[in-house]
């Protein structure tokens, strides 16, 4: 499936199916050693933006590199985030054996604006905000289920940036990020930034075209797509790879 997305024309409907993850097996078993973190830190404090448009936490040289393509409004991704964050961080990332990269993948209509706000504050708050969005996801989804028809009709005449802003206003995400240190002015500047819109769209386009990502969550371990959608399945793959 091919998707052409430009900053001026983004299809903010379903780009893929939530819950339709990977399709192949996990990496081959291979015992790996723990690595000490920099003095005075642990590896969960090491976060950076990647050239692939995601954010990675952990040892940059970790032998096991876990990547998730996820949607912040996908219930299956939300369940993974709520169940996986603590054990993944404590038992695998902090050892230096595993790094974890999250790449926003646009699935549902609000995802563009929500992803922009999730990335707006930068590297250090990225994973705490991501975790808290998943913790509070059910409340946002309840609002999403009750979107009035006239609101959706008004969206048709809007630009992608205007649509993204309208969605996060309607669902309450601007207030959410304001409570976590981002000013309303900063939030709105990020939402109006065409480069951010284009960059996020490109992540989804490249994933669908080059990596056959068709749904969320989709996981890769050292470049190999996993047949996994839950923490139990991902942890099994990590253990099988020697973590």
Write down the pLDDT at residue 10.
Answer: 42
Write down the pLDDT at residue 208.
Answer: 98
Judge contact between 96 and 58, C-beta under 8 A.
yes
Distance (Å, rounded) from C-alpha 54 to C-alpha 204? 11
Q: Does the pLDDT value for residue 88 go beyond 60?
A: yes
Residue 176's closest CA among 85, 73, 104? 73
CA-based torsion, 167, 169, 172, 176: positive or negative:
positive
Judge contact between 104 and 203, C-beta under 8 A.
yes
Write down the pLDDT at residue 85.
Answer: 98
| Tens of pLDDT, residues 146-191 | 999 999 999 999 999 999 999 999 999 999 999 999 999 999 999 9
Residue 13's closest CA among 71, 83, 84? 71
| Tens of pLDDT, residues 3-42 | 334 433 344 444 446 876 654 444 445 689 999 999 999 9
Angle formed by the axes of helices 160-171 and 184-191, to 10°? 140
Give the chain's domains with CATH numbers: 17-23+48-240 (3.40.30.10)
Distance (Å, rounded) from C-alpha 163 to C-alpha 110? 8
Helices marked H in the chain: 75-88, 111-120, 126-135, 137-145, 149-155, 160-171, 173-178, 184-191, 194-210, 231-240
Write down the pLDDT at residue 13.
Answer: 42
CA-based torsion, 176, 181, 185, 188: positive or negative:
negative
Distance (Å, rounded) from C-alpha 115 to C-alpha 105? 9
Question: Global pTM?
Answer: 0.90
């Amino acid at each position: 499936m091919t998707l052409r997305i430009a900053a001026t024309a983004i299809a903010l409907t379903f780009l893929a199916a939530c819950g339709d993850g990977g399709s192949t097996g996990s990496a081959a078993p291979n015992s790996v050693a723990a690595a000490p973190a920099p003095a005075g830190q642990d590896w969960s404090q090491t976060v950076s933006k990647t050239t692939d448009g995601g954010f990675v936490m952990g040892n940059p040289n970790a032998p096991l590199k876990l990547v998730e393509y996820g949607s912040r409004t996908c219930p299956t991704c939300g369940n993974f985030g709520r169940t996986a964050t603590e054990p993944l961080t404590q038992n695998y990332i902090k050892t230096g054996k595993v790094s974890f990269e999250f790449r926003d993948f646009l699935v549902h209509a609000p995802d563009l604006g929500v992803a922009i706000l999730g990335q707006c504050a930068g590297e250090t708050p990225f994973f705490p905000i991501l975790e808290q969005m998943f913790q509070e996801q059910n409340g946002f989804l309840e609002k999403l289920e009750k979107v009035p028809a006239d609101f959706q009709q008004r969206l048709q005449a809007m630009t992608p940036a205007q649509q993204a802003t309208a969605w996060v206003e309607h669902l309450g995400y601007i207030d959410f990020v304001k409570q976590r240190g981002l000013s309303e002015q900063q939030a709105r500047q990020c939402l109006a930034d065409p480069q951010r819109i284009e960059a996020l769209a490109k992540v989804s386009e490249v994933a669908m075209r080059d990596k056959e990502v068709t749904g969320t969550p989709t996981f890769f371990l050292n470049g190999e797509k996993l047949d996994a959608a839950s923490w139990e399945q991902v942890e099994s793959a990590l253990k099988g790879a020697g973590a």
